[in-house]
Amino acid sequence: MKTLIACLYCLVFPVILSAQYQVQAHLSGFANGTVFYLKDIETDQVLDSATLQKGAFLIKGSFEDGPRSLWLYTHVKDSFYYCNLLMGNEKVRVEGSVKDMPFFLRITGSPTQDVYNVLNRQTAQLYQSRDSLTSLAMPLMIKNEQQARQDSIWNIVRGIDNNVDSITKKFIKEHINSYAGLRCLYFYRFKLDTATLRDLYGQLRSPFAESRFAKTIQTFLRVGAPVKTGDHLWDFTAIDSTGKSHQLSGYLGKYILLNFSTTYCGPCVLSKGELQEVIAKYSNQLSLLTFNADASRDVWLKGVRRDQPTWPVLWDGKAGHSEAILKYGVQGYPTFFLIDPKGVIVHRWSGYDFHKKGILDLLQKKLPVQNMP
C-alpha cells in the first residue's frame, strides 16, 4: 500500500509543481536593487515583485485559469519602465536593456507570447514614434503654448493610432483562435461594430471559447452597448461584505454616486479620503456606492477591512466579465457615474487626482443648491 501511495505521489506531485509560471529577466542599464513588479492588467493587482541583482531576477507563481495579460514594470526616479507579457503557467525569459523597454525586449519561452510577439513586431516602431511625439506635445499643452505646433503633432499621432488600429484588427482576424488574438479582441470590443464582433466570437474554438477573454466578449454582446450620459441607469444587484444583496435601483430618490474600483488601484485608494468627505457633506441627498471589480473575494474583503468605508462596497465575483462593468463601459479605475434621483446618468468621468478636490467640486456644481445642508 505504501508503495502504491509513493508511486501516485511521484506521478501527481511533479504535475502540481509544473503548474507554475516563471519570469526570468536579464536586464542591463538598471542599478542593483531596482525593484520590478508583476501586475495583472485585468484585475489591476500586483502579483509579485523581485529585486534586480547583477542584472537578473526571477519571479515565480501560478495561475489557476489560463493565460493572463501582465505588466512587468519598475519606477526609477520620475521614469516608468514596463513591458507587456501574455502568458500562462510557462517559463518566460525577458532579455534586453533599459533602452529596449517597452517595445524592443526579447521575450521567449511562451507559445502564448510568441503569437503576441507577431503583433509587437509590427507595431513597436509606431508606438515608439507615438511616445516621442506625445513627449513633445505634453509640455506645450501644460504651458498652453504653440497651439499650431500642438495641432500638427496630434494630427500625426492620430495617423499613427489609425495605422495601429488597422494592423491590430487584421491581426485579430488572422489569429482569432489564440489568446493573443482574443486579448486584442477584448480590448478592441469598443472599436468594432457588433456584427464583426459577433462574427469573430462565433469563430472561436476550444480552449479559446472557454477562456476569460471569450466570456467577457460573450457578456459584452449580451448586455449591448454601454450606457452614456443622458441614459437611464442600468440596474444590477451585488453583495456587500456582510453578504447582503443591494440593487442599484433601490437607491433611487436620491442622487447616486457610483464608483467602480479595485483594491490595489493606487488612485482608487487615494480617492477614499475625499469620498469620506462626500458622505459627510452630502449624505442627506446622495448615496455613495462602490462596485469592486476584483476577481478574488479575499482580495475584495481585504480592501474593505483596510479602508473601513462607511458606504456599501459591492462585489459580484465576475471581475472583468461582470455585466455591470461592461454595461457601464468601465475601462480603467476609478470610474465614476453621477445618477440623478430619477435614474438618469448626468455625468461620467474616470481617474482621480489626489491634489485636487475634483469630486467635491463637481458635486457642488451638479447637486441642487436648495437641497444642500
CA dihedral 28, 34, 37, 38 (to 10 degrees): 30
Tell how far CA 74 is from the center of its chain: 17
Instruction: Give alpha helix (H) positions in the chain.
Output: 2-18, 111-143, 147-174, 179-187, 194-202, 212-223, 266-282, 297-307, 323-327, 358-366
In the chain, the largest separation of any two C-alpha atoms, in whole Å, equals 83
Which of the residue ranges 61-65, 81-85, 274-278, 364-368 would you say has the lowest mean pLDDT?
Answer: 61-65
In 3-state terms, the chain is what percent helix, strand and coil (to 5)? Answer: 45, 25, 30
Contacts of 73 (CB under 8 A, 6+ apart): 36, 37, 39, 80, 81, 82, 83
Contacts of 83 (CB under 8 A, 6+ apart): 71, 72, 73, 94, 101, 102, 105, 107
Q: Output DSSP code: residue 178.
A: S
Contacts of 43 (CB under 8 A, 6+ apart): 262, 293, 294, 295, 296, 299, 319, 320
pLDDT per residue over 4-40, tens digit each? 444 433 444 343 344 799 999 999 999 999 999 999 8
What is the structure's pLDDT at 10? Answer: 40
What is the structure's pLDDT at 1? Answer: 47
More confident residue, 132 or 2: 132
Pick the CATH number of 237-371 from 3.30.70.100, 3.65.10.10, 3.30.70.890, 3.40.30.10: 3.40.30.10
Whether the pLDDT of residue 370 is over 80: the answer is: no
Average pLDDT for residues 245-259, to the nearest whole number? 97
Angle at 55 between CA 121 and CA 94, to 5 degrees: 25
More confident residue, 237 or 68: 237
Q: Please give the class, per CATH, of domain 19-108.
A: mainly beta
Neighbouring-strand partners of residue 81: 74
Average pLDDT for residues 217-238, to the nearest whole number? 94
Whether 19-108 and 237-371 share one fold: the answer is: no
pLDDT per residue over 80-97, tens digit each? 999 999 999 999 999 999
Nearest to 340 by CA among 256, 274, 236: 256
What is the structure's pLDDT at 204? Answer: 96
What is the structure's pLDDT at 246? Answer: 97
Q: Which three cell numbers stand for residue 211?
A: 477562456
pLDDT per residue over 113-169, tens digit each? 999 999 999 999 999 999 999 999 999 888 889 999 999 999 999 999 999 999 999
d(CA 173, CA 82): 27
d(CA 149, CA 100): 29
* Torsions phi, psi for 90 (to 5 deg): -135, 165
More confident residue, 5 or 226: 226
Q: Report the SS3 class of residue 326.
A: helix
What is the structure's pLDDT at 115? Answer: 95
Nearest to 90 by CA among 69, 61, 118: 61
What is the structure's pLDDT at 213? Answer: 87
d(CA 101, CA 157): 20
pLDDT per residue over 263-321, tens digit each? 988 899 999 999 999 999 999 999 999 999 988 899 999 999 999 999 999 999 998 78
Residue ranges covered by each domain of the chain: 19-108, 119-223, 237-371
d(CA 338, CA 331): 17
Q: What pTM value is reported for the model?
A: 0.77
Angle at 366 between CA 360 and CA 369, to 5 degrees: 95
Q: Report the SS3 class of residue 233.
A: coil
Nearest to 362 by CA among 311, 286, 289: 286
pLDDT per residue over 188-217, tens digit each? 988 899 999 999 999 999 999 998 889 889
pLDDT per residue over 175-187, tens digit each? 999 999 999 998 8
Average pLDDT for residues 347-365, to the nearest whole number? 90
CB 45 within 8 A of CB 39: yes
